[in-house]
Amino acid sequence: MLPAPTRRRPTAQQMRRGLIAKRRLTLIRKCEELRKLGARVYLVMETSSRYHVYSSESSDSWPPTADRLEKNYPVPLQYSPECLAPKMSSGL
C-alpha cells in the first residue's frame, strides 16, 4: 500500500491572496444586498495591479463624476481609514 501523499502548507502569500479573494467576494455580495434595497452602488478595488469593479447599474450617469460630486447638495459623506479608526479616550 502506498503512503498518502503529503500536502504542502500554503505559503503566507497564498493565504493572503485567499483571504483577499474571500473578503472581496463578501464585499461584492454586500453591495448586491444594498442594490436590492434600492441603493445605487459603485465599488472599485485594486489588488496585485488588477482592478475589480462592481456597479449596481449600467448607465452613463453612474457612477457620478468627481465634478458632479463636488457640486452635489447635500455634500457627500466621504470615508477613509482614519474615520474608521477607534478614537483614543482622554482618560478622564
Q: Per residue in 23-78, pLDDT tens?
A: 999 999 999 999 999 999 999 999 989 999 999 999 999 999 999 999 999 999 98
Task: Respond yes or no on whether the N-terminal peptide bond of residue 81 is cis (omega within 30° of 0).
Answer: no
Confidence band for 91, pLDDT divided at 50, 70 and 90: low
E-assigned strand segments in the chain:
42-47, 50-55
DSSP state letter for 61: T
Confidence band for 13, pLDDT divided at 50, 70 and 90: very high
Structural domain spans, the chain: 54-78
Across the range 15-22, mean pLDDT stands at 96
Cell representation of residue 89: 479616550
Please state, in angstroms and as integers, the Cα–Cα distance from residue 16 to each residue in 12, 19, 25, 50, 70, following that order.
6, 5, 14, 15, 36
Per-residue pLDDT, 1 = 72
